[in-house]
Amino acid sequence: MNTEDTNWEEEENLPPPTPEEETQALVNAIRRSRGFRLLFVQCSPQKGQEVIEKVTEELPQKKIAVLSLEEAIDKLYPLVEEYKDQEVLFIRGLEQSLLVYEAEKRAEGWNTEEIYSYSWHGVPRILNHLNQQREQFRDNFPLCFVFLLPRFAIDYFIHRCPDFYDWRSGSLQISSDDDSFREISSELYNWALSLNPQERQQEILNIQAELKHQYLPLPDRANLSHQKAILLLTEERYSEALASYDKSLEIKPDDHQAWYNRGIALGNLQRYSEALASYNKALEIKPDHHIYWDNRGLALAKLQRYSEAIASYDKALEINLDDHLAWKNRGYALSNLQRYSEAIDSYDKALEIKPDDHIFWNRRGIALYYLQRYSEAIVSYDKALEIKPDYHILWNNRGIALYYLQRYSEAIASYDKALEIKPDYYEDWYNRGIALRKLKRYSEAIASYDKALEIKPDYYEAVYNKACYYALQGKIELAIKNLDKATQLNPEESREMAETDSDFDKIRTDVRFQKLLEANSETGL
């Protein structure tokens, strides 16, 4: 039996839909896909890799390939031709072509506003190619294309590649719990936040009218451009905000807040290398601002440069030891480097300052779990649940820690709590089944797997474990039937496990069981 394949989860953004739910929606969309289909996923490179791994893990029966573009291209069609035999093709790195296009336009004398206006004044060659070739893609490639793109690239598709983009079957945004860059608390920013959308738009129009005056003094022009950028930033119109910051910085290049906020706009567009450069500019002017160092660390973490990110958080903490977010972010970066003991120390520092944050407690519990300090992990999860008792992932994580302490009845009770909150969370049904097996409550375990399979019908691990439990009960017909289904869903892994799994000892000499394993010996697996 596959006893160790429990599923634990880290916390995600809480407002619906969560990244976890968006990822599952993508998995479901790909599972249902037949023939030509276009899916667009807005995500960071790191999250994109996680998405690929998740889809590959959950859909082993699908033929899945990844096309990684390391440099700019003008035509995608010729590169895709070699993947005709696939069912799903992830495409990542297409933004490289857009960055080269922007660099070319700058060399031609275009200003930032012209580049980021997404007008039809200019269309990148790759997007022009996709607009023109969409029928050929549809007619010649009967597969599901999944484009993994940062936000700014999605904007390009919407505005400058509408013919191709309009054929999409779905568009999802998958973020992570550390996606939000920190704003500066300032009078201007707070004023912009206090306005409703209509009032903000009116202010933007008023500023635009003032900026049209030819004889407006340069300092006033810089200040108005910055003010307009702040309004656009609060409206989440990041590309327009970026253009306004550039206008302001042309006049006043030593405005550290403008450089910093420009970094925020770039970060929210998932242009992390450029965001990093903006934060560096801000820090050249004002090196003693801890939030600048903190956001610089976030940009580095998004680029998976975790050691450099930690150094940036350390700089922030030299300036302000009470920056709980810097401590939390530092802990997260340390965890990504598998330096869990140090990560726990960072989370402890964050919790000294802000003890009522359930995310900090959950992160701490996960780090303790990795160190196999399960009892302490449970204490952390319990603390988090005192603050956020309706967070199903905490109950799931707590259940797994209890399972590894062999406290199976308590683990089941934790999974039950998670399922009261989120009954369609198939991982909890699966984990519950594993714990029930340890108590030899096979019928209940099978019922749990059936629940998981109602939600995820191709969950081969659940089908395989059902076969194990039927075999243990001497129900040979049902054991063979379920093992047959598991081998159809994932032939290699199911047969490989069954060859040595002691759960099947009672039926190992059965001819039907032997036939199910034949494919392994024939292929030499």
Residues 81-96: tens digit of each pLDDT: 999 899 999 999 998 8
Q: And the tokens for 503? A: 């759960």
pLDDT reading at 1 higher than 80 = no
Global pTM reads 0.70
Left (φ > 0), alpha (ψ -120 to 50) or beta: where does 425 sit?
beta
pLDDT reading at 183 higher than 60 = no
Place of tokens 């450069």: 277
Per-residue pLDDT at 337: 95
Q: And the tokens for 128? A: 């022009």
Q: How far apart are CA 470 and CA 468, in angstroms?
A: 6
For residue 182, name the pLDDT band (cuts at 50, 70, 90).
low
Per-residue pLDDT at 204: 84
- Picking from 269, 268, 244, the residue whose alpha carbon sits closest to that of residue 258 is 244
pLDDT reading at 523 higher than 70 = no
Per-residue pLDDT at 114: 67
Q: Which residue has the higher pLDDT, 22 or 303?
A: 303
Place of tokens 């004002």: 286
pLDDT reading at 422 higher than 90 = yes
pLDDT reading at 151 higher than 90 = no
Omega of the bond prior to 60 within 30 degrees of 0, cis? no
pLDDT reading at 469 higher than 60 = yes
Per-residue pLDDT at 129: 93
- The distance of Cα 522 from the centroid of its chain, to the nearest Å, equals 40
Per-residue pLDDT at 7: 41
Helix (H, G, I), strand (E, B) or coil at 266: helix
Contact 49, 102 (CB under 8 A): no
DSSP state letter for 508: T
Per-residue pLDDT at 176: 61
* Mean per-residue pLDDT, 375-395: 96
b/e code 404-443 from CB counts within 10 Å (16+ = b): eeebbebbbbbbebbbebbeebbbbbbbbbbbbbbeebbe
pLDDT reading at 511 higher than 80 = yes
User: If residue 349 lies in a helix (H) or strand (E), which one and from where to where?
Assistant: helix 340-353
Q: How far apart are CA 61 and CA 184, in angstroms?
A: 48
For residue 199, name the pLDDT band (cuts at 50, 70, 90).
confident
pLDDT reading at 311 higher than 70 = yes
Per-residue pLDDT at 11: 42
Per-residue pLDDT at 181: 53
Contact 98, 124 (CB under 8 A): yes
Q: And the tokens for 375? A: 């009892």
Which tens digit of pLDDT belongs to each residue from 230-275? 999 988 899 999 999 999 999 999 999 999 999 999 999 999 999 9
Domain boundaries, the chain: 19-173, 178-282, 459-520
Per-residue pLDDT at 159: 84
Contact 234, 192 (CB under 8 A): yes
- Residue 211 C-beta-side C-alpha neighbours within 13 Å: 18
Per-residue pLDDT at 445: 94
Q: What percent of the chain has pLDDT over 70?
A: 91
Q: What's the fold here for domain 178-282?
A: 1.25.40
Q: Which residue has the higher pLDDT, 160 or 525?
A: 160
Q: Which CATH number fits domain 19-173: 3.40.50.720, 3.40.50.300, 3.90.1150.10, 3.30.70.1050?
A: 3.40.50.300
- 167: phi then psi, degrees, rounded to nearest 5: -90, 10
pLDDT reading at 135 higher than 60 = yes
pLDDT reading at 492 higher than 90 = no
* Mean per-residue pLDDT, 396-400: 96
Going by DSSP bridges, is the β-strand pair 88-92/144-149 parallel, antiparallel, or unpaired? parallel
Per-residue pLDDT at 215: 79
Mean pLDDT of the chain: 87
